[in-house]
Amino acid sequence: MKVEIKKRVNDVAKIVRSKNAGPFLITLDIIFSKQEDYDKFKNGNYVSKRKIAELYQIELEKVIECLFYDNARAFKTTIKRGIPSGSVGDTDIYGVQQHVPLLHLELPNW
């Protein structure tokens, strides 16, 4: 029996990170070192606003944008924070721990 090994973003990307984009938004980046991996990711329809909403368990309207930057071999998405940065109850004031769901994004047929 052949076991299929599923690829995930953290298997192919050089950098996966998150950070504040002001007090009300988080920006998430996936950056590739190899052009071929970036092209495969971009053309593979692995991400969309709907997919980001599913990963982060948020309403679709909270996904502001999904963009590819060819010169940087990067994908960027911006989402609304659940709670403003620095507010009572905020557990990640700089937004640097919010990239984890992206690490686990599966890449079927990679």
pLDDT digits (tens, 9 = 90+) for 31-64: 999 999 999 999 999 999 999 999 999 999 999 9
Is residue 24's pLDDT more than 90? yes
pLDDT at res. 6: 85
* pLDDT for residue 109 is more than 90: no
Q: Which amino acid type is present at position 94?
A: Y
Q: Give which of 43, 24, 40 is closest to 32, Cα–Cα.
A: 40
The per-residue pLDDT for range 69-86, each reduced to its tens digit, is: 999 999 999 999 999 999
At 3, the pLDDT band (50, 70, 90 cuts) reads low
> In sequence order, which residues have a C-beta less than 8 Å from that of residue 12 and are 6 or more positions away?
32, 37, 40, 41, 107, 110
What is the pTM for the complete model shown? Answer: 0.91
Mean per-residue pLDDT for 91-105? 94
At 2, is the pLDDT very low, low, confident or very high (cuts 50, 70, 90)?
low
